[in-house]
Amino acid sequence: MKPPRFRYCSPESLEEALAVLGEFGDEAKPLAGGQSLIPMLNMRLARPSVLVDLNRIPALAGIERTDRFLRIGAMTRHRAVERSESVARAQPLLAEAIGYVGHLPIRTRGTVGGSIAHADPAAELPGVLLALDGTVELQSRRGHRTVPARDFFVDLLTTSADPDELVIAVRFPVLPPRSGTAWLEVARRHGDYALVGVGAVVTLAEDRRTIRDARLCFIGVGNTPVRATGAEAALRGQPAAADTWRSAAEAVRNELDPASDIHASAQYRRSVAGVLTERALALAVQRAQEGTAG
C-alpha cells in the first residue's frame, strides 16, 4: 500500500493556503493530522493531485475562551485539547469525549479541524459539536462564514464546506449555569470508533429537580451525528428521576433509525442507544446537581 503520486506544498500562512486551494479547487486537498487522509491515500481511496499541508501554519492552532464559547483553531491537536485546563473547565463534554478519539499516537497528530471536516458519523468531535449546537468557521479567498453544526454535517463524510474553503476554527459554546454533561460510548476495544456513542447536555431549572433543557446527540447511528429531538422535547419540564430517563430511553429507541453493518446490527445499536441514554442522562443530571458540570 503506497500513496499515489501528488504534488505537495506547505504554506506558512493561511492566505497562502487559501490561495493554493482557490487555484486548484477540488483537485487539491488540505492535509491536517493525516490520520484519516493518509490511510485513504495509502489504500488509494483518495487521489488528490495536490496536497496542501496545513502543519506549518502556526496561526491555525490554539484554544481561546470567550464569554460564549471556546474557540479551537483547526490545527489544534487532539492531544492539546486533552491536556488543556481551559477545555476541562469551560467545556467538560469535549474534555470527556476527546480521550475516546483513537489512541495516544493518533491524538498526537490528529486535529480538531480535521475531525470536523472529515465528518465520520462514528467520530466523537462532530457529535460533541452537534450536542452543544456549536459552529464551524470557514474561510476561503472569497470570504469568511460561520455555519451551525446542524447545517454543517450533511451526509456520510460530507459537509457543507466548499472545496476551496478551510475549516479555520470550531466554536464549542459554554454552558449556562445548573448544567451537566456526559459522554458515553460502546466500542469493541478502547480507541476504536464507537459502535454507538451519546453526548447528553442537561440544564436544570432553579429548583435543581426539574429539567429545563436536555440535548441528546448520538454517533454511529446514521450518516451524520444525530440529535434525538423528539426525546429532547419530551424531557423538558420533567422531574429529574429514574422514570424520566427510562421514558427518554424508550423515546430514543423509537426515534433512531440506525443501519446494520459488519460491526453491529441495527437492533443492537438501537438497544445500546437506549441503555446509554439512561446512563448519560442520570450522570449529566448528577453533575449538574453537584455543580461539577462534567
Partner 1 sequence: MNTIATERRVIRVVVNGSPYEREVEARLLLSDFLRHELGLTGTHVGCEHGVCGACTVLLDGEPVRSCLMFAVQADGHEIETVEGLAPNEAELHPLQRAFWEKHGLQCGYCTPGMLMVLKAFLAENPDPSEEEIREAISGNLCRCTGYQNIVEAARYAAQLLRQR
**Interface residues with partner 1 (CB under 8 A)?**
1-12, 16, 19-20, 24, 34-35, 38-39, 41-43, 50-53, 55-56, 79, 102-106, 108-109, 189-191
Helix axes 242-255, 266-290, angle to 10 degrees: 150
Residues between 148 and 167 that touch ligand FAD (CB under 6 A): 161, 166-167
Q: How many CB atoms lie within 10 A of CB 14?
A: 16
* Cell 436536555, located at residue: 214
Exactly one of 63, 73, 93, 124 binds ligand FAD (CB under 6 A); that residue is 124
220 binds ligand FAD (CB under 6 A): no
Alpha helices in the chain (DSSP H): 14-24, 37-42, 78-83, 85-90, 92-98, 104-109, 112-118, 124-131, 149-152, 229-235, 242-255, 266-290
74: amino acid identity, one letter: A
Write the CB contacts of 116 (distance below 8 Å, at least 6 apart in sequence): 74, 125, 126, 129, 136, 152, 159, 167, 170
Task: Output 51 or 252, the one with its CB closest to partner 1.
Answer: 51
30 binds ligand FAD (CB under 6 A): yes
Task: Output 9 or 266, the one with its CB closest to partner 1.
Answer: 9
- Tell the smallest beta-carbon distance from residue 287 to partner 1 (Å): 22
Residues between 59 and 88 that touch ligand FAD (CB under 6 A): 74
- Binding residues for ligand FAD, per CB under 6 A? 29-37, 39, 54, 74, 101-102, 106, 110-111, 113-115, 117-118, 120, 123-125, 161, 166-167, 191-193
